[in-house]
Amino acid sequence: MPFPLGAPRSAGLRRRSSSSLLLGGAVVALSACHSAKPAGGDAAAIRGAMAGTRAPAATANWVSLFDGTTISGWHNYATPGAPVTGWSVEDGLLVRSGEGGDLTTDTQYANFEFELEWKVGPGGNSGIIYRIDHSGERSYLTGPELQILDDAVHRDGKNPLTSAGANYALHAPTPGAVKPANEWNAARLVVNGNHVEHWLNGVKVVEYELGSADWETRRKASKFATAEKYGRATRGHLAIQDHGDRVYFRNIRIRELP
């Protein structure tokens, strides 16, 4: 803070010293304000938002579902207990590499946050299906799906309701969040009671309430109109969909919620 204009030069040493001390204190305070930095999480979130990707989440209570070397803890949807086929580990990545069916967790989950990173080639298609109860011939007859897709080439990308990040056939995502084929995308699925959120590259692209009047209207207008168990389970398996395409996954983890 500058001294007032016209201050008498004959002011005593004590007054000058007091003013200097006040000035010094103000400078220190201002320096402290300017040098203060956001907490690590906030800074990471800002960097993530600027880069168009999610910020790294805290590691507390997260459980890895893929260790980069084996496919333990998973089974093909149609053959629980049998060795996994059609999925392999390549250079530390989980890869849909052949016919085998949806890769399904051995464990069931009720409320959770689930994260992974995915990459598809041109026209690639897959999905994350949740709360599957294993009563249907196909996983998607009971479990809703977060769509994984190359929007630019696959025909489903022309319809917002079936584009990347969508609650497949029911809720269209906020556009512009998906990255193109052969680039990594970060997906996050939050399921807490009836409340569901789809996140893609740090952007919440879909939000809905299972069983709500709006959700029921959308279900009855979709391909799931006759699938009476669709979206009804309060607990179930997770699956990564086998849609016939080569798809890559990494950093697969889950955190159960109370």
How does pLDDT run across 169-204, given as a tens digit for each residue?
Answer: 999 999 999 999 999 999 999 999 999 999 999 999
Single-letter amino acid code for the residue at 54 = R
The tally of CA atoms less than 13 A away on the side-chain side of residue 99 is: 0
**CATH number for the segment(s) 43-256:** 2.60.120.560
CB 94 within 8 A of CB 250: yes
Average pLDDT of the chain is 84
pLDDT at 89: 98
Query: Above 50 in pLDDT, residue 75?
Result: yes
CB 189 within 8 A of CB 128: yes
pLDDT at 58: 54
State the average pLDDT over residues 73-91. Answer: 98
A 10 A CB-CB count for 213 gives 8
CB 86 within 8 A of CB 98: yes
**Which letter does DSSP use for residue 58 in this model?**
P
The domain spans of the chain are 1-36, 43-256
Query: Above 50 in pLDDT, residue 215?
Result: yes
CA 135 to chain centre: 27
In this prediction, residue 61 has a pLDDT band, given cuts at 50, 70 and 90, of: very high
pLDDT at 60: 84
- For 87, counting Cβ atoms within 10 Å of its Cβ (0-12 exposed, 13-18 middle, 19+ buried), the class is buried
How does pLDDT run across 137-160, given as a tens digit for each residue?
Answer: 999 999 999 999 999 999 999 999
Single-letter amino acid code for the residue at 46 = I
Specify the higher pLDDT residue, 27 or 92.
Answer: 92
Query: Above 90 in pLDDT, residue 219?
Result: yes
pLDDT at 21: 33
In this prediction, residue 34 has a pLDDT band, given cuts at 50, 70 and 90, of: very low
How does pLDDT run across 235-253, given as a tens digit for each residue?
Answer: 999 999 999 999 999 999 9
